[in-house]
Amino acid sequence: MNNKKIAVIGLGYVGLPLAVEFAKKYKTIGFDINKTRVDKLKNAVDDTLEVSSKNLIAVLVRDTEIDKKVGLIPTSEEKDLINSNVFIVTVPTPTDRNRRPVLKPLLAASETVGKFLKKGDIVIYESTVYPGVTEDECVPVLEFISGLSLNTDFFVGYSPERINPGDKERTVTKIIKVTSGSTKESAIEIDDLYKSIITAGTHLAPTIRVAEASKVIENSQRDINIAFVNELSKIFNLLDINTNAVLKAASTKWNFLPFKPGLVGGHCIGVDPYYIAQKAQEVGYHPELILAARRINNSMGEHVANQIIKLLVKADKKVKGAKILILGFTFKENCPDIRNTKVVDVITELNEFGTSLTIVDPWADPKEVENEYKLSITKEFPEDKFDAIVITVAHNEFLGLNLNLFKNGNAPVYDVKGITEKQSDGSL
């Protein structure tokens, strides 16, 4: 194990925490094509807030310490990968506008790794994919670029990431890691490598395809369960029944699954089901339940917006030009991640009605939101009064907030997350 020189390709929400843990025991190169991101990491600044400055400083290798046997060297220079013998790929695997899997970042990372691949090296993929991508899509790229052969010259593995952005309790080392390899021997070697940093332990899957499938169904299962309660919330709304009260009552049974309705975004739950659906369709099977769940969850932004408009009408508020305060923009609470946030769907629909929106999020980066969504947000609470207030994300800053400070008269409150039931006029 001591001769392992790790290279983590991609330093986002998944790659950086992993690289930091490996850097405590191994010489670790953290590679990312985003030079701005790398420069900030060199100065111990992580914009994702997954790793503290203190923890980064503890593992960073300075220019004067380049010969250290352990530690993290962030870089955007490909040439710095040359001495690595274990490459771990953690790049994004998004979908396109038609919700089809996009493997371009993964294949580009494979090309980069292929340039530096040597005999005896190991390449491990962590990016979420459908079964078969590692061996059928990535390996041919590695072989073509390197001129080497799988299982003769080099080996591959798949170990799906299980990072939960913003979660400071279930961090990377405290979550059981699924591992796999292209041969029995390489699988054991990969499993041992992860065991050296994962205190929660590992699970060695029998094949790479099993490991790939295990990851993609984790979030698909969660998506389906949330879709079920989202559909129930629509039904109960029509019946004038409080959904949260129903779920609280049902949860008293020991085997009831306590899922809650909401906007299902992010880079995992809102994306991964399309990967397994794509593969299913390729082999001639139409995944009805998986895609139905996606349709239900994708409809929730429009549903929330329509409920807000109804509350405005009930309150005798003029809809066109109504000033609405949106509290929250990120895809989940207490996290700066704005990838695939479904708050955008609410905003888009409300804009269709000609409302005037003010978006407040103390966690999101306004510049990133502007670049990604062409929307203006603020981190500060406004001094204005509003015709309606919508809580879309359960940030700590919104808990116990006196909403009366922002109300214009009898302004209704719609609480998507159910965190202010006493002040709320409506919720999912």
pLDDT digits (tens, 9 = 90+) for 29-61: 999 999 999 999 999 999 999 999 999 999 999
Q: In this structure, are 46 and 165 located in the same domain?
A: yes
End-of-domain residue from the set 213, 245, 265: 213
How far apart (Å, rounded) are the C-alpha atoms in residues 180 and 177?
Answer: 10
pLDDT for res 418: 83
Catalytic residue among 89, 268, 308, 347: 268
How far apart (Å, rounded) are the C-alpha atoms in residues 309 and 302?
Answer: 11
How far apart (Å, rounded) are the C-alpha atoms in residues 245 and 212?
Answer: 38
pLDDT for res 68: 77
How far apart (Å, rounded) are the C-alpha atoms in residues 103 and 39?
Answer: 27
Q: Is 268 among the catalytic positions?
A: yes
Q: CB burial class (10 A; 0-12, 13-18, 19+) of residue 299?
A: middle
Note the pLDDT tens digit of each residue in 7-31.
Answer: 999 999 999 999 999 999 999 999 9
Are 331 and 341 a contacting pair, CB within 8 Å?
Answer: yes
pLDDT for res 31: 97
Q: How far is CA 121 from CA 3, 312, 416, in A?
A: 12, 62, 49
Instruction: Enumerate residues 6+ apart whose C-beta is below 8 A from 120.
Output: 85, 153, 154
How far apart (Å, rounded) are the C-alpha atoms in residues 252 and 241?
Answer: 18
CATH, residue 386 = 3.40.50.720
Q: What parts of the chain have a pLDDT lower than 50?
A: none
pLDDT for res 290: 96
pLDDT for res 421: 67
Q: How far is CA 380 from CA 194, 358, 359, 372, 397, in A?
A: 42, 11, 10, 20, 11
CB-based burial, 383-413: b 16+ in 10 Å, e otherwise: eeebbbbbbbbbbebbeebebeebbbeebbb
Give the residue carrying structure tokens 């299982």. Answer: 151
Going through 180-299 in order, the beta strands assigned E by DSSP cover 202-204
The pairs formed by 383-386 with CB atoms below 8 angstroms and a separation of 24 or more are 384/323, 384/325, 384/358, 385/323, 385/411, 386/323, 386/324, 386/325, 386/358, 386/411
Does the model's pTM come out above 0.85? yes
End-of-domain residue from the set 213, 229, 257: 213
End-of-domain residue from the set 213, 248, 265: 213
How far apart (Å, rounded) are the C-alpha atoms in residues 84 and 253?
Answer: 52
Q: In this structure, are 208 and 306 located in the same domain?
A: no
Phi, psi values for residue 29, rounded to 5°: -95, 125
Q: Total domain count for the chain? A: 2
Q: In this structure, are 206 and 315 located in the same domain?
A: no
pLDDT for res 26: 95
Sort residue 100 into left (φ over 0), alpha (ψ -120 to 50) or beta.
beta
Q: In this structure, are 193 and 69 located in the same domain?
A: yes
Q: How far is CA 222 from CA 151, 296, 330, in A?
A: 35, 13, 19
Q: In this structure, are 329 and 426 located in the same domain?
A: yes
How far apart (Å, rounded) are the C-alpha atoms in residues 352 and 24?
Answer: 52
Q: How far is CA 176 from CA 19, 160, 282, 402, in A?
A: 17, 10, 31, 41
Domain span including residue 380: 299-428
pLDDT for res 1: 61
Asked if residue 261 belongs to a domain, the reply is no
Q: Which amino acid is residue 42, in one-letter code?
A: K
Asked if residue 278 belongs to a domain, the reply is no
Q: In this structure, are 58 and 177 located in the same domain?
A: yes
pLDDT for res 3: 87
Q: In this structure, are 209 and 311 located in the same domain?
A: no
